[in-house]
Amino acid sequence: MAGLALTTAAAAQTPEKVRIGYQRSSTLITVLKTNGTLEKALAPLGVEVSWHEFTSGLPLLEAVNIGSIDFSADVADTVPIFAQAAGARLVYVADEAPSPSAQAILVPAGSPIATLEQLKGKKIGVTKGAGSHYLLLAALAKAGLAIRDVTPAYLTPADARAAFVSGNLDAWVAWDPFLASTQSQSGARVLADGTGLASYKRYYLATEDFSKRGDKVLQVLFERLKATGDWVKANPGPAAETLAGLWGIDAATVEKANARRSYKVGAVTPAGLAEQQKIADTFFAEGVLPKKVDASDAANWKPATP
């Protein structure tokens, strides 16, 4: 059932509440939560918003799958693949255009490592199943290496950062804002980012049920996310100031991180999911996914205006 489209024809009565799950690093949703514009936009529909914070993407999508939240803020491209493998019935609502430089392989400032080939035999911190994991696999393949040629240390971002700055890792595959923060504070050097290796798109998803009942709500969410993404890019200083206090990072570092993200929100298309299949196939071949996944089986909600 490739590229199933869910449209207003399937919509029922507008729900009275939308439960939104997000992570602390969910930039556009965080801005909307802070400025209150989403509540104002949904008020004419009589829809309330409740906010639910999660520590990472996989628990967030698990909550969507079991129906404890209705809508998920952006998650990295790899996360929906794992949700599909687990049998989740999720619907793609929107995506953010590629931001390949927003994740990268970092080495310490004084490291002699200058090429991807020189990662052979090195200890590399990476978060298993994250977009950074896919970037590492793609980078190693480009260098003619495999994961068995390095020593991966599967760590959370916080643990990986601590190990990296203390000299216990030869390299770390990080994403923003962790990437920009570590660069600023330790002088770490980018060995390679995702350019030409991993697009690093981010996706917004909803439950199958809510995509049918909440079409009008999703349309408002889609429009507000687009407008917020445009505002962040057009107002880098004020956007960074808004996020700095919430993230506990100085505004200059936040602005550097935001500059590497596209924040260009658009409709999800079957063609746009092409790299999702590549990610799924790569992870399955590495034994990271328990079974093969057909990325085109995922359902796509279609906005009234793209």
- Look at residue 306 and tell me if it is in a domain: no
Q: Tokens at residue 152, please?
A: 């991966």
pLDDT tens-digit readout, 188-215: 999 999 999 999 999 999 999 999 999 9
Read off the pLDDT of each residue in 282-286 and give the average, rounded to a whole number: 94
> What pLDDT, on a 0 to 100 scale, did the predictor assign at position 189?
97
pLDDT tens-digit readout, 22-63: 988 899 999 999 999 999 999 999 999 999 998 888 889 889
Query: In this structure, which amino acid lies at residue 13?
Result: Q
- Domain of residue 280: give its range: 5-98+201-301
Q: Indicate which CATH number applies to the domain containing 82.
A: 3.40.190.10
Instruction: Note whether 284 and 142 are same-domain residues.
Output: no
- Residue for token pair 């009275």: 16
- The residue out of 167, 193, 219 marking a domain boundary is 193
SS (H, E, C) 179-207: HHHHHHHHCCEEEEECCCCCCCCEEEEEE
Instruction: Note whether 297 and 212 are same-domain residues.
Output: yes
Provide the CA 254 distance to its chain's centre, in angstroms. Answer: 17
Instruction: Note whether 206 and 180 are same-domain residues.
Output: no
- Look at residue 225 and tell me if it is in a domain: yes
Instruction: Note whether 18 and 44 are same-domain residues.
Output: yes
> What pLDDT, on a 0 to 100 scale, did the predictor assign at position 306?
65
How far apart, in whole angstroms, are the C-alpha atoms of residue 180 and residue 177? Answer: 5
Burial class of 132 by CB neighbour count within 10 A (0 to 12, 13 to 18, 19+) = buried
Q: What is the value of pTM for the model shown?
A: 0.89
